[in-house]
Structure 1
Amino acid sequence: MDWDRQHLAALRAAVEHGTFDAASKALQITPSAFSQRIRGAEQRAGSLLLTRSKPVRPTAAGEVLVQLARQLSLLETEAQERLSHGGEAVTELSISLNADSLSVWFAPVLSEIADWDQVALRLQIEDQDLSARMLRSGEVMGAVTADPRPAPGCRSQPLGVMRYLPVAHPRLLERHGVSPQRAADLARLPMVEYGPDDDLQRSLLRQLGVPPNPVSHRVPTSAEFALAVEAGLGWGVVPEQQVQGPLAAGELVRLGSRRKVDVALYWQRWRLDSPLLERLSAVVLDAAAVLRKA
């Protein structure tokens, strides 16, 4: 089925700008003309493609076409660059990954991309259990995710395993009269979580059959999350690379009979014959070599 490029551009603009009015201004057309393009796309598809909400969101069918619009944009930009022998075309690299990956092992990717001409990086921070949904919606072209199943139209490659350790400051344990070796005692300690989608702490508690303490703090950045645990705000599950020093110095102690949480990570990307995507994937896989093997 051939799709009208103006229809695809309208769908993409609606999702990226959130409202029809903003999208029509971005495309420099009237709101009436914009609405006609959306209706034309939906008539062509035979189904609703966008929810008329604020912000506008794609339906399942709409996600497929928004992804197509972004993929075509990438291929067109690459073709333009090759035809102009490295001209003025700028390619956006949109990647979704979890904050811990960005903090612990992803930095070499940034260093590599810093030397690439005419490339603009767009990082989206999302929990590793949820980042694949951004691929499905077409918001990103690549994602670090805990889901091994390829999103539609994507490839999936294993990266390695991030190991997390449940830890707390000794002062916190003393204050609550808790033994670090007794798993049941975790129910008596306040907890630090990254955000509402962070399930690492609660997943460990479920494994141990222990209910969470009603006091739960939220610290939504990776480095500051570790600092909050070191400060004694609560216990938390922290990447091993971030706690090796504090553990060796006695500033943190391991909890739950030296339990650990291993999270297998995968690199998913659009299944396109794109030199830039191939180059990006090679750099990501290279940087992930520091992770534990599955």
Structure 2
Amino acid sequence: MKDLDSAGLDCLAALADERSFERAAQRLSVTQSAVSQRLRSLEAQVGQLLVVRSRPLRLTEPGKVLLRFARQLQALRTDVARELGSQVTPHERLPIAVNADSLATWVLPALDGLVQQGLREGFGLELIVDDQDFTHDWLRQGEVLGCVSTVKQALRGCVVQPLGVMSYVAVASPDFVARHLPGGLNEANFPQLPFLVFNRKDDNQVQWISQAFGVRHPRLKERYVPSSDAIVRAACMGWGIAVVPELQVRELVRKRQLLPVRADVSVDLTLYWHQWKLVSEAAPAPGRVALLDQVGQALSTGARGALKALPGRRKAAGPATAAKG
């Protein structure tokens, strides 16, 4: 199999993003029939069904394999256009997955310079948010070209780079502490007190309780607040106990708008940057770095200034390592 149709691959990527033929056609500025025709041509070329025509549509496993290739091809095409000083195709974006807590704290400042550069040069980043334990799945399925994740092992064809450690602490408002924790949080009262939880994937509270009291499978009274910033606001309003990044609430704790709950206990999560290795026949011009590599470098620099260094390492990012085997 060779010479895969680039227009068909662009359609596949647009369908994966938009989840409908109508929106994919609008994104590519073509008709729906053109999208259908290009997809059928690509499916005929590989001899396999790539998209399940459901609502919303979804990719088959072969479709996910080709999606990874389509994403990488688009990234290489963007790099070549930048090398030549040509206009980047408007619908092409570089998607990466990050966890919500990193997005709420250090990721935006880390990527700001690159985004401003993109405004000048015409390329764009797309940030996809998921739990730090699940962003890796987006990379595996070909939905993104890179991700911030707690997963240490690189996928085949990817490189991984440690970023640093994000510490999570438990906090509550002074009023909540005075009303509900006059004697402190303990093994007897934690099941009766509300804990603020991002969503059903979020287990930071469970990890914190397990570490504080040695309870392996604690049952918590959960209040779901699906936003990193909103959880902190809810904690300030006295809605419950929040287990959140220390980086996010440091200033609020200093001003005593939030109080630590068991200041001796924290949950430390090591974050890694994963990205696909994009191999181009043409080496970048001297002084030029591929866009995906620039994203990794920007995140590494930002993490180095915001996160705790890994145990046994200086506060500096190490070299990326490729997956074995």
TM over 0.5: yes
Residue 89 of structure 1 aligns with an amino acid whose one-letter code is: V
1:155-196 deviation line (CA, Å, top 9, x unaligned): 111101000001222422343356324244221211111223
Aligned partner of 2:322 in structure 1 is none
1:211 paired with 2:218, answer: yes
Residue 148 of structure 1 aligns with an amino acid whose one-letter code is: K
Q: Which of 272, 279, 292 is 2:294 aligned to?
A: 279
Aligned partner of 1:87 in structure 2 is 86
C-alpha distance in 1, partners of 2:189/2:262? 8
Unaligned 5+ residue runs, structure 1? none
Q: Which of 132, 135, 138 is 2:139 aligned to?
A: 135
Does structure 1 retain, via aligned residues, the 8 Å contact 2:111–2:299? no
Aligned partner of 1:221 in structure 2 is 227
Change (3 A) 1:148 1:248: same
Does structure 2 retain, via aligned residues, the 8 Å contact 1:158–1:265? yes
Aligned partner of 1:102 in structure 2 is 103
Aligned partner of 2:258 in structure 1 is 252
C-alpha distance in 2, partners of 1:23/1:265? 33
C-alpha distance in 2, partners of 1:156/1:245? 32
What percentage of residue pairs aligned between the two structures are identical? Answer: 34
C-alpha distance in 2, partners of 1:238/1:220? 13
Unaligned 5+ residue runs, structure 2? 280-288, 311-325
1:60-98 deviation line (CA, Å, top 9, x unaligned): 221111121121122122223322xx2322563322212
TM-score of the pair, normalised by structure 2 = 0.79
Q: Give the drift of 1:43.
A: 4.3
1:268 paired with 2:245, answer: no
Change (3 A) 1:179 1:88: same
Q: SS in structure 1 opposite 2:54?
A: coil
Aligned partner of 1:58 in structure 2 is 59
Map 1:1-294 onto structure 2 (within 5 A).
1-2=1-2, 3-24=4-25, 26=28, 28-29=30-31, 31=33, 34-83=35-84, 86-89=85-88, 92-116=93-117, 117-118=120-121, 119-176=123-180, 179-207=183-211, 208-209=214-215, 211-214=218-221, 216-256=222-262, 258-273=264-279, 275-290=290-305, 291-294=307-310
C-alpha distance in 1, partners of 2:95/2:128? 7
Does structure 2 retain, via aligned residues, the 8 Å contact 1:178–1:188? no
Number of residues of Structure 1 aligned to a counterpart in Structure 2:
290
Q: SS in structure 2 opposite 1:64?
A: helix
1:39-60 deviation line (CA, Å, top 9, x unaligned): 4433444443222221211122
Change (3 A) 1:4 1:250: closer
Does structure 2 retain, via aligned residues, the 8 Å contact 1:183–1:256? no
Aligned partner of 2:315 in structure 1 is none
1:135-165 deviation line (CA, Å, top 9, x unaligned): 2233322211111122343211110100000
1:194-239 deviation line (CA, Å, top 9, x unaligned): 223222113333553263343x222222222112112211001111
Residues 156-165 or 278-287, more deviating: 278-287
Q: Give the drift of 1:114.
A: 4.1
C-alpha distance in 2, partners of 1:100/1:65? 31
Residue 67 of structure 2 aligns with an amino acid whose one-letter code is: V
Aligned partner of 2:321 in structure 1 is none
C-alpha distance in 2, partners of 1:12/1:93? 11
Q: Give the drift of 1:267.
A: 0.6
